[in-house]
């Protein structure tokens, strides 16, 4: 499928999605959100990991498109937020690991997009934050909730209330990003992480993502039961048999995702 504002490429089993509106610092307008949702719903069946990054050398995604939002009504804002929530929920619920390669500004909707990914890595020049209050609004694509779950309630309140923009080092310090890389090494690092993931059983990785995501919002007893069920169901797979046979035979496993 041809897209106007994003590019979707594949390298082996890694899908690489680039938001490509560099003149607008990759800002998320309705068209871009619709294309993201479509891309998340139609990734190649061979893709076992997804990397998201921004086109150009300044921004991952600088935010939602203020030129579109400035004149919309409350009803239209509700629809715009619903579109963003739907697109990011689709991303979050993908059965494969997702990695945000934050190569520049990740503010507002850009930070929210990164937060919907499983792993976040940033370049040394990245800036992250949720500055919506400076515009008289609040984050509308899940930022208040996902940020709270990543950095804790009090730190999330501080960042949202002040609208502070964090440099990459501070973002790593508070746990918002995992590692900070030189700009010219960021994408290669994300590909290397994806490559490590690809060596493992795809059904196991998918099940691990599922139980972590769903278990995080449950009490410990319910979350442990979810893990127990996920562990057991994998013993009905060919990958489990292959993985354990390969271990006993001291060879690399040939996983098929079955």
Q: What is the pLDDT of residue 2?
A: 85
> In terms of domains, do 42 and 113 share one?
yes
Structural domains in the chain (count) = 2
The answer to whether residue 80 sits within a structural domain is yes
The answer to whether residue 253 sits within a structural domain is no
pTM for this model (two decimals)? 0.95
Question: Which CATH number is 105's domain given?
Answer: 3.90.226.10
Mean pLDDT of the 248-252 span: 97
Tens digit of pLDDT for each residue in 167-185? 999 999 999 999 999 999 9
- Residue 34, both tokens: 């619709």
Can you give the length of the chain in residues?
Answer: 258
Tens digit of pLDDT for each residue in 132-166? 999 999 999 999 999 999 999 999 999 999 999 99
> In terms of domains, do 150 and 240 share one?
no
> In terms of domains, do 110 and 31 share one?
yes
Q: Compute the distance between CA of residue 63 and CA of residue 89 in angstroms, rounded to an integer.
A: 17
Tens digit of pLDDT for each residue in 19-66? 999 999 999 999 999 999 999 999 999 999 999 999 998 999 999 999
The catalytic residue positions are 112, 132
> Residues 6 or more apart from 73 whose CB is under 8 A from it?
none
**Structural domain boundaries, residue 36:** 6-198
Place of tokens 């919002």: 217
């Amino acid at each position: 499928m041809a897209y106007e504002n994003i590019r979707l490429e594949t390298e082996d089993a890694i899908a690489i999605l680039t938001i490509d509106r560099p003149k607008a610092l990759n800002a998320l307008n309705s068209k871009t959100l619709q294309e993201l949702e479509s891309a998340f719903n139609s990734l190649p069946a061979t893709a076992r990991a997804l990397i998201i990054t921004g086109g150009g050398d300044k921004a991952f995604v600088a935010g939602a498109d203020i030129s579109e939002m400035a004149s919309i009504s409350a009803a239209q804002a509700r629809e715009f937020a619903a579109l963003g929530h739907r697109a990011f929920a689709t991303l979050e619920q993908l059965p494969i690991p997702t990695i945000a390669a934050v190569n520049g500004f990740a503010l507002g909707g850009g930070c929210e997009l990164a937060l919907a990914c499983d792993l976040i890595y940033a370049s040394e020049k990245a800036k992250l934050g949720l500055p919506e209050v400076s515009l008289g609004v609040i984050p509308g694509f899940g930022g208040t909730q996902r940020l709270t779950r990543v950095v804790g309630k009090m730190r999330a309140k501080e960042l949202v209330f002040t609208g502070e923009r964090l440099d990459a080092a501070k973002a790593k310090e508070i746990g918002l990003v995992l590692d900070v890389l030189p700009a010219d090494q960021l994408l290669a690092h994300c590909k290397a992480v994806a490559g490590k993931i690809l060596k493992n059983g795809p059904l196991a990785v998918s099940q691990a993502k599922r139980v972590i995501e769903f278990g995080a919002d449950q009490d410990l007893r319910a979350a442990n039961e979810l893990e127990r069920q996920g562990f057991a169901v994998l013993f009905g797979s060919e990958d489990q048999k292959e993985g354990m046979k390969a271990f006993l035979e001291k060879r690399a496993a040939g996983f098929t995702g079955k």
